């Protein structure tokens, strides 16, 4: 069976206030063309179809058009909701839409109810694990605790139990939206840390033939059977080195896997430039970035006059300007943002406690209180998005 694995479309998202609607439409054109050109048997979309719980109407129209085209091509599609999606909204009409071959899996309680698709060698069971917010799904799944590994483990126990009851030779594919250990994040993904832990071990998915992951925006191989497709477009400058692709997966009669990366269209390359203003304006080696979307970081000790306007004269598609004057790290003028660079919310809070206590950091019990507070805020934000 030939599977096209994609994820993290984030329909409706912009790039530094530049609309990506046309670029997203071009990607969906490429996806439909790829399905025909490579004789794909099934498309899987591993979450974050939309960029927010209540997407703009233009994004909904784009999604609706894509579904009609896939259904018209008579190619089954299996998709799950991600942490950016409203599972309830995305899942509206799922039963009816399934009649057209579009299978939406947005309810955690249905994670062990597969979509069964046959080929010449028997059935392939596609299990959809939508994004599982631990505090909201722990009781539904009967997990021992409210953590990512616990709820995914409970969901996979259900999957393996269902698979064990199916005829010998039934192959299996799991769609999941999660941060799996070994994956490389970017600045584009929303933080899903719970209790100080975001990642789960790849071993939680043992027992199935292929795991189609979503959430991380870089295409990557965690293991031969566990892969991220990544997002089809770059959504932050931290993705400037990414090659945006989809996975074309051939699942053999005995569960063997072969994989090929297929490129997505690039609306405009990204460039991260750093240096003094005069260097960025005069260095001939930078001419290749004239048509790129540019993030420029200026290191001049003193802010130059009109830097954005001057840079735009050479790089007309410059989108963002960062000022990081060259200074000794001990210089008290070093920016607060520089001092906090690379630190998460938990570490920043712990450092603040140490600061106000004259160097004495929080106890383990106090760290637990901080973790619980951050977890509660994130859960509240998730609930508020879903209920809007």
Q: What is the percentage of the chain residues whose pLDDT exceeds 90?
A: 80
pTM score of the predicted model:
0.86
Domain ranges of the chain: 2-263, 270-326
What 3-state DSSP class applies to 215? coil
**pLDDT for residue 352:** 81
CATH class of 2-263: alpha beta
| Per-residue pLDDT tens over the stretch 45-104 | 999 999 999 999 999 999 999 999 999 999 999 999 999 999 999 999 999 999 999 999
Averaged pLDDT for residues 180-195: 87
* Rounded Cα–Cα distance for residues 178 and 47 (Å): 9
| pLDDT tens digits along 110-163 | 999 999 999 999 999 999 999 999 999 999 999 999 999 999 999 999 999 999
Please tell me the predicted confidence (pLDDT) of residue 354.
Answer: 75
Residue 336 pLDDT exceeds 60? no
Count of alpha carbons within 13 angstroms of residue 387, beta-carbon side = 6
User: What confidence category does residue 193 fall into, taking pLDDT thresholds of 50, 70 and 90?
Assistant: confident
Instruction: Give the mean pLDDT of 292-316.
Output: 97
Percent of the chain residues past pLDDT 70, beyond the cut: 91
Q: What is the pLDDT of residues 345-356, one digit of tens each?
A: 877 887 787 767
What is the distance between the alpha carbons of residues 388 and 162, in angstroms, rounded to a whole number? 35
CA distances from 200 to 97, 112, 152, 262, 345 (A): 32, 20, 8, 27, 20
């Amino acid at each position: 069976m030939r599977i096209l694995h994609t994820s993290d479309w984030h329909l409706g998202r912009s790039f530094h206030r530049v609309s990506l609607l046309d670029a997203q439409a071009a990607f969906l054109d490429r996806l439909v063309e790829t399905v025909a050109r490579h004789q794909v048997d099934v498309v899987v979309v591993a979450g974050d179809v939309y960029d927010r719980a209540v997407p703009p109407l233009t994004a909904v129209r784009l999604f609706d058009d894509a579904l009609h085209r896939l259904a018209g091509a008579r190619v089954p599609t299996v998709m799950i909701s991600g942490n950016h999606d409203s599972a309830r909204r995305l899942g509206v009409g799922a039963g009816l839409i399934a009649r057209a071959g579009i299978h939406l899996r947005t309810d955690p309680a249905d994670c062990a109810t597969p979509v069964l698709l046959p080929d010449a060698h028997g059935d392939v069971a596609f299990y959809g694990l939508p994004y599982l917010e631990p505090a909201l799904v722990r009781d539904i799944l009967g997990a021992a605790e409210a953590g990512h590994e616990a709820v995914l483990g409970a969901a996979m126990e259900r999957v393996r139990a269902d698979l064990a009851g199916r005829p010998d030779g039934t192959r299996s594919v799991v769609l999941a939206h999660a941060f799996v250990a070994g994956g490389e994040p970017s600045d584009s993904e929303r933080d899903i840390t719970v209790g100080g832990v975001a990642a789960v071990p790849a071993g939680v998915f043992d027992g199935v033939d292929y795991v189609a992951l979503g959430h991380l925006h870089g295409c990557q191989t965690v293991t031969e059977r566990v892969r991220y497709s990544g997002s089809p477009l770059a959504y932050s400058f931290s993705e400037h080195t990414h090659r945006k692709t989809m996975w074309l997966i051939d699942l053999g009669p005995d569960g063997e896997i072969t994989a090929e990366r297929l490129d997505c269209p690039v609306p405009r390359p990204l460039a991260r430039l750093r240096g003094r203003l005069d260097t960025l304006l005069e260095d001939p080696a930078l001419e290749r970035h004239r048509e790129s979307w540019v993030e420029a970081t200026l290191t001049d000790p003193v802010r130059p006059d009109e830097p954005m306007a001057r840079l735009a004269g050479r790089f007309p598609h410059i989108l963002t300007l960062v000022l990081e004057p060259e200074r000794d790290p001990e210089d008290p003028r070093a920016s607060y943002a520089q001092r906090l660079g690379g630190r998460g919310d938990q570490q920043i809070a712990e450092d603040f406690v140490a600061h106000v206590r004259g160097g004495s950091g929080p106890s383990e019990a106090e760290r637990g209180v901080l973790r619980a507070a951050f977890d509660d805020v994130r859960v509240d934000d998730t609930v508020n998005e879903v209920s809007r």
